[in-house]
Amino acid sequence: MTTTIDEQQVPAGPAVEPAPDPRARARAESAALADLLRPVRGTIRVAQVLAAIGSAAALVPFVALAGLAAAFLEPGPPDDGAVLGAVWLIVGGLGARGVITGLALALTHFADVRLQALLRRRMAAHLGRVPLGWFSERSSGMVRKAAQDDVHDLHQVVAHHPVEWVGAWVLPIAGIGYLAWLDWRLALLALVTLPWYAAAYAWMMRGYTEKVEQMNAGNERISSAVVEFVSGIAVVKTFGQARRAHRGYAEAARDFGRFYSEWVRPMLRIEVIATMAISAPVVLLVACAGTAWFVGAGWITPVEAMTGILVSLVVPTTITALGFGASNRRTAAAAALRLHELLATPVLPEPDEPREPAGHRIELAGVRFSYGGGDGAEVLRGIDLDCPEGTVTALVGPSGAGKTTLATLVARFHDVTGGALRIGGVDVREIDPAVLYRHVGFVLQDVQLLHGTIAGNVRLGRPDATDDELHDACRAARIHDRILALPRGYDSVVGEDALLSGGEAQRVSIARALLADTPVLVLDEATAFADPESEAEIQDALSGLAAGRTVLVVAHRLSTITGADRIAVVDDGRIVESGTHDELLAASGRYAAMWAAHRSGEDDAR
């Protein structure tokens, strides 16, 4: 059951799973394309009917030319009425084709604009309901490609292909039908070169799907090599390995060039032969020779011969259009399957009868979790944790122990696969997501700032906040003065005239959390990538942010959480120790060993 008007207009349809077999994948792509085009299919059908009429009208000038030739070839002066009538038929046929085909293209272009708007709205509505953890597992480039490139790849098959495809079939069929009415030999003569083209084209397309898959894989390998080289160029140059790092890209490019050359070189020879078979000079030569023979044998008149030659020249242009249309359709079908898979991403279930949290206590009871909805290896194994209102609970432990996963479950980045996680006595799965995010805020180590103004980024949690509230939040986050120093202050745009360091971006995200003023706060190693000066300012900002809130903090620097109300040591998906800093040191267990290592590291740093 869909929830928005746009989703009702663009039905979800069955999920189309990618298939490893090229033929199965091609079928899946065609099914996905047909499903996505459903909202504009009626408009496309009307446009195709108009295109058929326009293409048939294009045949009228050929008939009129034959009549005009007949008028001039008759003994005596030509009949002015017949000549004028033929001229008007030519003008009328050309005009009718232009107007009707133009109307058909206008309809398909309007359909294309409508479909793109529907798909982008549907994607925005759908992605707004998927788990937040889905975004952390994927790059923003993938979503951008779907919303921009893949949607744009549908343009040709909506705005152009339906009209051009109908015209490419109707005009030659109508023309050959007219020739057959004049004399069946003329119809055969117009088609005589096509078998050569068809055979050559079929030969070229052998294994096309598999070759395209290999080409895409080669392009992906080159892209990965480029990204790897550029992103790590500072490191490789520092260690004098620039040439070695460049070798990966060179090898990928060389392998792709070798594959592409081996595939395309023999095809080019065949394509030359195929293109010559339907080229205008060859078709004209065959048509002239054939009609001369037919006229000499007395089978047709010279006027009919001229008509046969003119119509024969139409066929090659339509065949070329069909070839381009098939290529565009394959590209669109591949894009449609990617869009279909994106729109089939499972969303977070919403409760039928949502409940309001009664307070801000965080409770985890027997929580188990594994990525992939329970199909993968368990990351958390029976977590029990109680975080009373107004307390700070710290999660510590080795890398990969499950700390971040545990913390993000509170913000419902994913749903637990076992046990229960409650806020204010209510399971988070029974809280409406909009209500949940008014109760839970988070500051993560991987800061995400949008391409917009600083003010817009801070106001994400409270768009209606006043300027005074905005400035107070930024002062508390120790970032107000830095913002005022930017060229346009709070109106400076991130990435343009607001080039922020990692610590400054982190303080902007803290200001965002302060302005949102949520009673529950999740902090995931908020100082992980900060320099010492920034870390001190971030810690000051976090102290103000945590006051009076229920805080769950993931920490890797133990000195920052010694004052926490409770410290939980996580290892291998379980809580192995729990207590205050002093209690855990007195227990001489895992935490005490971590603390000793931490102090030793600090001493070495001095």
Same domain membership, residue 458 and residue 328: no
Same domain membership, residue 323 and residue 452: no
Q: What is the pTM for the complete model shown? A: 0.64
pLDDT at 527: 58
pLDDT at 13: 41
Is 85 a domain residue?
A: yes
Residues 2, 5: Cα–Cα separation, whole Å: 8
Place 114 in a pLDDT band, splitting at 50, 70 and 90: very high
Is 569 a domain residue?
A: yes
Q: Which of 131-135, 207-211, 495-499 has the highest mean pLDDT?
A: 495-499
Boundary (domain end) residue, out of 231, 246, 268 = 268
Strand (E) or helix (H) holding 423: strand 418-423
CA distances from 271 to 198, 290, 313 (A): 11, 25, 19
pLDDT at 12: 41
The stretch 414-440 carries a mean pLDDT of: 89
The stretch 401-409 carries a mean pLDDT of: 87
Q: Bin 572: left if φ > 0, else alpha if -120 < ψ < 50, else beta.
A: left
Of the given ranges (14-23, 317-326, 497-506, 515-524), which has the lowest mean pLDDT? 14-23
Amino acid at 63: V
Residues 344, 525: Cα–Cα separation, whole Å: 33
Is 79 a domain residue?
A: yes
More confident residue, 513 or 204: 513
Is 353 a domain residue?
A: no
Tell me the CATH number at 485: 3.40.50.300
Same domain membership, residue 260 and residue 381: no
How many domains does one find in the chain?
Answer: 3
**Structural domain of 26:** 18-193+278-343
Q: Where do we find the tokens 């080409």?
A: 215
Same domain membership, residue 505 and residue 476: yes
Residues 388, 367: Cα–Cα separation, whole Å: 17
Place 50 in a pLDDT band, splitting at 50, 70 and 90: very high
Residues 88, 76: Cα–Cα separation, whole Å: 22
Place 109 in a pLDDT band, splitting at 50, 70 and 90: very high
**Per the structure block, which two tokens stand in for 578?**
């729990």
Same domain membership, residue 367 and residue 332: no
Residues 307, 20: Cα–Cα separation, whole Å: 51
Residues 134, 346: Cα–Cα separation, whole Å: 10
Residues 166, 39: Cα–Cα separation, whole Å: 20
pLDDT at 17: 45
Residues 198, 191: Cα–Cα separation, whole Å: 11
Find out whether 105 and 163 touch, Cβ atoms under 8 Å: yes
DSSP, res 382: E
pLDDT at 3: 37
- What are the backbone dihedrals phi and psi of residue 4, each rounded to the nearest 5 degrees, phi first? -130, 160
Is 348 a domain residue?
A: no
Q: Which of 79-88, 241-250, 424-433 has the highest mean pLDDT?
A: 424-433
Boundary (domain end) residue, out of 226, 250, 268 = 268
DSSP, res 567: E
- What are the backbone dihedrals phi and psi of residue 486, each rounded to the nearest 5 degrees, phi first? -70, 160
CB atoms within 10 A of CB 232: 13
Same domain membership, residue 385 and residue 481: yes
Is 225 a domain residue?
A: yes
Is 459 a domain residue?
A: yes
**Pairing mode of beta strands 426-427, 550-554:** unpaired
Same domain membership, residue 251 and residue 138: no
Find out whether 421 and 410 touch, Cβ atoms under 8 Å: yes
Place 10 in a pLDDT band, splitting at 50, 70 and 90: very low
**Pairing mode of beta strands 418-423, 440-444:** unpaired
Same domain membership, residue 455 and residue 337: no
Same domain membership, residue 263 and residue 286: no
- What are the backbone dihedrals phi and psi of residue 352, each rounded to the nearest 5 degrees, phi first? -70, -35
Same domain membership, residue 300 and residue 255: no
More confident residue, 202 or 527: 202
Same domain membership, residue 449 and residue 320: no
Tell me the CATH number at 62: 1.20.1560.10
Of the given ranges (183-192, 228-237, 505-514), which has the lowest mean pLDDT? 228-237
Number of residues assigned to the chain: 606
Of the given ranges (216-225, 343-352, 389-398), which has the lowest mean pLDDT? 216-225
Strand (E) or helix (H) holding 496: none
Same domain membership, residue 480 and residue 438: yes
Is 351 a domain residue?
A: no
Boundary (domain end) residue, out of 248, 268, 288 = 268
Closest CA to 69 of 310, 392, 389: 310
